[in-house]
Structure 1
Amino acid sequence: MAALYRRAMDALYLACVIVGATALVLISAVIPYAVFTRYILNSAASWPEPLAVLLTILLTFIGAAAGYRLNLHMSLSYFADQLPTPWRRGLDVIVQLLMALIAIFMIVWGERLVDVTWQNTIADFPFLSVGVTYLPIPVGGLCLLFFIIERIFIGIPPDPIPHSDRASFD
């Protein structure tokens, strides 16, 4: 069962990375276009800035869940690392449970935000519901919760990028 859950989380992680990387690439394309139209063509396009904000929301919530899975987030672990091993394990469980509370908060209140704003539209994108733009909050919270469950019951997944202890300049 653990191997099946790990494979499912690997697939979810890959989906989060693809979504986050795509959002980052699109942000990197949209912003220069906005600068070009504003300063070169002297006729600013209205859509690049709100699109960049929407993509940033997507990158933040979905990409953060992927980063959390592989422990790539910022953390201050100096004092925790000084504790004896059994205490470190207990502290890690407490941290995971607190993160699960944050993930549940994102799911519950994010879903409520989506529900409340579903009928509103964005001025620059009248075909797009405001609720859709907030969907990354509960979706990211759900992904985060799945990754926390994986950490608590199976452990931190192995790093998909192999690293060596010595530097190679070949």
Structure 2
Amino acid sequence: MSNSPLLRRVERALDAIRALCMLVAGLALAVLIVSFGWLVFGRDVLNATPTWVEQLALLLICYIAFLGAAAGVREDSHIGVTLFRDMLPPQGRKIAMILVDVGLAIFGAVMLVAGITLMRFGWDTKLPMLNIPETFRTLAITSCGALVMLFAGLRGLQRCLSFASWAPDTEIEGV
């Protein structure tokens, strides 16, 4: 695709956001592992099970899953059935790939809007044992929606703008 300076800066920024998503998800996974270690130690050694670990685990899993999914959309490694797309001629493949990007961007926008609604609704409800607003759990959904909309939307726009010169065969692995 195009190698304009603006496009290179946008790509670097999106890659930095993806790396940040993976860093946060990785840190959340490390905290999850440590907290379960504390759970086992507290239960088996201290004979006092820390009850907050389960709620923290549920919260962390949300961030790990949703940030990881958003990073997967950026890397274009999300789950997809490509059998029929790969059977199309190059022009049809281009259109199919753009339609997938548009569909993902719309899905991300719906997640963003629904996530904002859930965040508003959950602000007064506290997560049990953690005593923080439910909004912190739904922030993962909202963030993922915004990132999926950004990553897929910009990739779809980039593919549309470079439609004539873009070769989809360079993006399909295993073909």
Range of TM-score over shorter length: 0.7 to 0.9
Equivalent-residue separation in structure 2 for 1:28 and 1:92 (angstroms):
38
After superposition, what is the alpha-carbon deviation per residue over 1:137-157, rounded to whole angstroms, capped at 9, x for unaligned? 1111111111112311335xx
After superposition, what is the alpha-carbon deviation per residue over 1:66-107, rounded to whole angstroms, capped at 9, x for unaligned? 111112222221222121111111111111111112101110
Q: Write the letter of the residue equivalent to 1:150.
A: L
Q: Does 1:129 align with 2:101?
A: no
Equivalent-residue separation in structure 2 for 1:50 and 1:148 (angstroms):
32
Task: Report the TM-score when normalising by structure 2.
Answer: 0.81
Unaligned runs of 5+ in 1: 156-170
Once the two structures are overlaid, the 10-residue window that deviates more, 30-39 or 67-76, is: 30-39
- In the other structure, the counterpart of 2:155 is 151
1:118–1:130 CA contact under 8 A, matched in 2 = yes
Q: Write the letter of the residue equivalent to 1:92.
A: M
- In the other structure, the counterpart of 1:49 is 54
- In the other structure, the counterpart of 1:28 is 33
1:5–1:150 CA contact under 8 A, matched in 2 = no
After superposition, what is the alpha-carbon deviation per residue over 1:107-127, rounded to whole angstroms, capped at 9, x for unaligned? 00100000011122122112x
**Aligned residue pair count:** 154
Q: Partner of 1:88: helix, strand, or coil?
A: helix
Equivalent-residue separation in structure 2 for 1:48 and 1:92 (angstroms):
42
Q: 1:40, CA displacement in angstroms?
A: 4.0
Query: Percent identity among equivalent residues?
Result: 29
Once the two structures are overlaid, the 10-residue window that deviates more, 115-124 or 103-112, is: 115-124
Equivalent-residue separation in structure 1 for 2:89 and 2:30 (angstroms):
43
Equivalent-residue separation in structure 1 for 2:45 and 2:114 (angstroms):
43
1:24–1:59 CA contact under 8 A, matched in 2 = yes
- In the other structure, the counterpart of 2:124 is 119
Q: Partner of 2:76: helix, strand, or coil?
A: coil
Q: Does 1:64 align with 2:69?
A: yes
2:125–2:133 CA contact under 8 A, matched in 1 = yes
Q: Write the letter of the residue equivalent to 1:95.
A: V
Q: Write the letter of the residue equivalent to 1:68.
A: V
Equivalent-residue separation in structure 2 for 1:16 and 1:48 (angstroms):
23
Q: 1:34, CA displacement in angstroms?
A: 1.7
Q: Partner of 1:43: helix, strand, or coil?
A: coil
Equivalent-residue separation in structure 2 for 1:152 and 1:41 (angstroms):
55
Q: Partner of 1:139: helix, strand, or coil?
A: helix
Which of these residues, 87, 96, 103, is aligned with residue 91 of structure 1? 96
Structure (1/2) with the larger strand percentage: 1
1:68–1:144 CA contact under 8 A, matched in 2 = yes
- In the other structure, the counterpart of 1:164 is none
